[in-house]
Amino acid sequence: MKLSTKVTELTNIIAPAVAACDVALWGIEFAPQGNRSLLRIYIEALPEEQAQDKQVTIENCAAVNHQVSGILEVHDPIAGEFILEVSSPGFDRAFFSDEQMHGYVGQTVSLRLIQAIGEGDQKRRKATGTLDSIDATSLKLTSSDGQQFEIALSNIDKANLIYEDA
């Protein structure tokens, strides 16, 4: 999952403002749309607060929105108008880095791949299954029909957690 240069620039500007609000930055989505772009920031509770079952609140989102708005006015990294949204990543969270997936081994993930995997008629650019393991270069996934895949991390375009109600 490679971040665009613009998302990397925005992350560097926004991360300190988010940290000042006592929450963690999970990821940033930036969608330029002509003269009106969308900047979506995902935040989550700090790890020690997660251990105490504390969740992101509306107040956290409002505080981050206020802090980030001020920082963006000073740095002005986005040309034209933009909409700023701040939220929790939710149960079906998108992963913005390979490192984020390490905490979800044993859970179901959905992947969109850059290049198809599989043989012959079984080639696919999407894979969903249980995340069996992940290391520095690849992950192993078992689909619901029992197929096992080893997928290079460099081949992952997008990854999401699939929420399963226990």
Q: Give pLDDT tens digits for 67-109.
A: 999 999 999 988 889 999 999 999 899 999 999 999 999 999 9
Domain ranges of the chain: 5-90, 95-161
Superfamily holding 5-90: RimP-like superfamily, N-terminal (3.30.300.70)
Evaluate whether 15 touches 60 at the Cβ level (below 8 Å): no
Q: Name the architecture of domain 95-161.
A: Roll (2.30)
For residue 127, pLDDT beyond 70 = yes
Q: Give pLDDT tens digits for 21-78.
A: 999 999 999 998 888 899 999 999 988 777 677 889 999 999 999 999 999 999 998 8
Query: Identity (one letter) of the amino acid at 132?
Result: D
Tell me the β-bridge partners of 121: none
- From the list 80, 83, 90, 79, the residue with the least C-alpha distance to 56 is 90
The Cα-based distances of 133 to 46, 68, 90, 101, 136 in angstroms read: 24, 36, 22, 9, 11
Name 33's Cβ contacts closer than 8 Å, sequence gap at least 6: none
pLDDT at 150: 94
Pair of tokens at residue 132: 């069996």
pTM of the model: 0.85
Distance CA 94, CA 111 (A): 10
For residue 1, pLDDT beyond 70 = no
